Amino acid sequence: MSQKLVDAMADLQEDVVLEEVQALKAGGTPAAEIIDALQRGMTVVGRRFEGQEYFLSELIMSAEIFNAVRPLLDFAAAGPSKHGTVVIGTIYQDVHDIGKNIVSTVLASHGVDVVDIGVDVPAQRFIDAIRTHKPRILGISCLLTTCFNNVRTCIAAIEAAGLRGGLTIVVGGGPVDEAAGRFMGADAVCKDAMAAVVLCTRA
């Protein structure tokens, strides 16, 4: 494993990350090893974020660096996801996607297989995605308080479809707190991307 790549990712040195990935790839290093080093670096980013050494801007930057590396590597060659599948989408009548996109990218950088089904997602599309991808976690993003009831209705529809068993439903978004999560019928609330990482990578 390349400690140089781990450190560069942790220190948000995009040029060094890209150069080291290219060098490792040219030298025949398997994609799985390169991805593992990147994910170790992202773990350090997460610790620094939790310790308030890094803030949201640094977290976004780390996701952007990881996204810049993705085209250089065959992520399929890294093998199956370490942490299973997460389906994520923004509830219907809400088209906000920045937070959802950050969470999706940071989760992917930590070895989670993320299926992002977009914004303004109706309950039936969530249900279809659960049936198709069989995730262990469903993430519903909601940035509008006027859509809280939509999330509640969506979760009720998922339960009525017989898909709640074995599925953890997580909600998140700026105005979503624990009380809102209980109202919606969710299993957990994640206030930021690193909270989502902790939940989704839990053994």
The per-residue pLDDT for 108 is 83
Contact call for residues 75 and 110 (beta carbons, < 8 A) = no
pLDDT at 98: 78
Does one domain contain both 38 and 121? no
Q: Which amino acid is at 68?
A: A
Tens of pLDDT along the chain (203 residues)?
689 999 999 999 999 999 999 999 999 998 878 888 888 898 898 889 888 999 888 988 888 898 888 788 776 666 666 778 999 999 999 998 878 888 888 888 778 899 999 999 999 999 999 999 999 999 999 999 999 999 999 999 999 999 999 999 999 988 999 999 999 999 999 988 888 988 998 84
| Confidence (pTM) | 0.76
Is the domain of 102 the same as that of 9?
A: no
Q: CATH number of the domain that 47 lies in?
A: 1.10.1240.10
68-74 contact pairs (CB < 8 A, 24+): 68/14, 68/17, 68/18, 69/17, 69/18, 69/21, 69/38, 72/18, 72/21, 72/22, 72/25, 73/21, 73/25, 73/31, 73/34, 73/35, 74/31
Based on the fold, state whether residues 97 and 194 are members of the same structural domain.
yes
Please give the pLDDT value at position 203: 47
| Tokens (6 digits) for 49 | 């974020």
Domain count, the chain: 2
d(CA 62, CA 138): 24
Task: Specify the pLDDT at position 171.
Answer: 97
Query: Which positions ≥6 away from 194 have C-beta within 8 Å?
Result: 46, 49, 50, 59, 106
Same domain, 148 and 66: no
pLDDT of res. 1: 62
Q: Which domain holds residue 15?
A: 3-78
Reported for 153-157, long-range contacts at CB under 8 A and 24+ positions apart, including other chains, are 153/123, 154/91, 154/92, 154/122, 154/123, 154/126, 155/184, 155/185, 155/186, 156/185, 157/123, 157/124, 157/126, 157/127
Last-in-domain residue among 37, 60, 78: 78
